[in-house]
A and B are shown apart, each in its own frame.
Chain A
Amino acid sequence: MNSDTNPILSLALTFGVMSLFAVGGANAAIPEMHRVAVDVQHWMSDKQFADVFAISQLSPGPNVLIVTLIGYSVAGVAGALVATLAMCGPTAILAYYVSRLMT
């Protein structure tokens, strides 16, 4: 993957895939986010990740918005939006279809 070339694209890919594996909600995906953002992609340092986690817990809204903060630190406002939609969109669509099947 040429994820170095386009940060927006690699944000979309990273969180789009992660969203489908985030069983048990956003907090269960925190270790995976840390692994990807700090160890794999080198988007931020350990310390920055801890800060971002703290900010996401302090702010209103679903805890998943830690991805908004990660996205912002990678690629500004566009990164924040792309990361949020990538993390929430795919499973939202999945949830829509599954719930329609069940009713």
Chain B
Amino acid sequence: MMPPDSPPVAVPAPDIAGLAPSTPPGLVALFVAFAKMSLAGFGGVLVWARRGIVDQHRWMTADEFNETFALCHFLPGPNVVNLSVVFGSRFRGIPGGLAAFAGLLGPPVVIVTVLAALYARYGEIDALRRILAGVSCAAVGLLISALFRMMMPLIKRRDLIGLVIMAAVFVAIGLLRLPLPAVLLVATPLSIAIAFFIRRRATS
């Protein structure tokens, strides 16, 4: 259950640097490859996407993959979904993007929909209730551990302003329950402005 947000450098995959990509994949190959990565990825697909694209198929070098992922991470929305579209379209244009998108989402959506139907029907059974309660505890624990991994750099750098902004966003979203768009529209320009002023004061 790796969080999809962890930076690709943290992925412990063997890097085979400098290898040129093999033949560019066709539409069917794109669909199948992304379907496989997606179905292998319990609780996050990124690790498998990297393994499939870089190590197994050699469609991209590790550096190319990191660059592509950085772009998809920076953009809003589910990172791996963005990655599938950007990757597929780079090789086969819009049809390629669609094939990768459909491969990534199609098969798991079918599975999840079946699970949803089972849950709607049997969700009140006591044994299932307890199993799900246990799993959600584990999932929340994983989420918290991912959070600490992302927070540690701020603490290690003693980045006081970063920590203050983080705390403020937590209060706004977690305690005051303000809408995400409103919080982002205030916090993002504010933190960019603060970073800008600090940098200017440091250089002058």
Contacts and interface: CB of A to CB of B under 8 A. Distances in A.
B111 A95 contact: no
Most buried by A among B3, B82, B101, B104: B82
A23 B120 CA distance: 30
Nearest to A27: B3
A62 B41 contact: yes
Contacts of A65: 105, 108-109, 112
Contacts of B27: none
A99 B45 contact: no
A95 B173 CA distance: 26
Given A28-B5, A53-B139, A62 B77 contact: no
Nearest to B67: A102
B76 A27 contact: no
A60 to B, nearest CB: 5
B116 A80 contact: yes
Nearest to A32: B180
A20 to B, nearest CB: 5
Interface string B129-169: 00011011011101100100000000000000000000000
B73 A25 contact: yes
Interface stretch (B8-16, B17-25, B84-92, B193-201): B84-92
Given A57-B1, A81-B109, A84-B109, A29 B115 contact: no
B26 interface: no
Interface in B167-191: 173-174, 177, 179-181, 184
Interface string A19-37: 1111111111111100100
A7 interface: no
Contact of A50 (B43, B75, B84, B136): B136
B115 A27 contact: no
A61 B112 contact: yes
A62 B139 CA distance: 14
B101 A88 contact: yes
Nearest to B48: A60
B78 A26 contact: yes
Contacts of B45: 61-62
B110 to A, nearest CB: 10
A32 B133 CA distance: 21
Given A61-B107, A88-B105, 11 more contacts: A21-B180, A24-B73, A31-B180, A32-B180, A35-B180, A53-B139, A55-B115, A56-B112, A61-B109, A65-B109, A95-B82
